[in-house]
């Protein structure tokens, strides 16, 4: 049973950079899965941010692409998120998730981390 665990600072200053890591255990990040970040602002719905494959292939949400970088570290079995120029609107619970897909489709998220709350505040 794969497990995902997010880690990173819970507080980021406005205009700063949010950096999170998702450690994958019980499975290989080099499997035929895509690995995503999804966020949820307080009391709001779910927003997909970005995804990465172990070969470095990436997809980004067009609404965030100018500020987001997703990366993978196969040696550590983990992937990371970097979001720059953050504002209060980026305050959210950030989840990492594993996705599977059919050829040509997007991902279905079948495993999620517990989520980590990141607050943007001075």
Closest CA to 8 of 121, 111, 115, 122: 115
SS3 category, 76: helix
CA distance 7 to 24: 11
- The answer to whether 33 contacts other proteins (rule: CB under 8 A) is no
Nearest-approach distance from CB 60 to other proteins, in angstroms: 6
Nearest-approach distance from CB 92 to other proteins, in angstroms: 14
Which of 15, 63, 87, 119 is the binder for other proteins (CB under 8 A)? 63
Nearest-approach distance from CB 11 to other proteins, in angstroms: 20
- The answer to whether 105 contacts other proteins (rule: CB under 8 A) is yes
Q: Which is nearer to other proteins, 49 or 86 (CB)?
A: 49
- The answer to whether 57 contacts other proteins (rule: CB under 8 A) is no
Which of 1, 62, 66, 122 is the binder for other proteins (CB under 8 A)? 62
CA distance 88 to 120: 5
CA distance 80 to 17: 13
SS3 category, 67: coil
Closest CA to 21 of 86, 85, 94, 84: 94
Residues that bind other proteins (CB under 8 A): 36, 45-48, 51, 59-63, 95, 101, 104-110, 112-115
């Amino acid at each position: 049973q794969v497990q995902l665990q997010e880690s990173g600072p819970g507080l980021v200053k406005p205009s700063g950079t949010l950096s999170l890591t998702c450690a994958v255990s019980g499975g290989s990040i080099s499997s035929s899965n895509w690995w995503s970040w999804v966020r949820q602002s307080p009391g709001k719905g779910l927003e997909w941010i970005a995804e990465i494959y172990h070969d470095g292939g990436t997809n980004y949400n067009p609404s965030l692409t100018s500020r987001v970088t997703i990366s993978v570290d196969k040696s550590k079995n983990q992937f990371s998120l970097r979001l720059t120029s953050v504002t209060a609107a980026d305050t959210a619970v950030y989840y990492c998730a594993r996705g599977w897909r059919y050829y040509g489709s997007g991902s279905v998220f079948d495993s999620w981390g517990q989520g980590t709350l990141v607050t943007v505040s001075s």
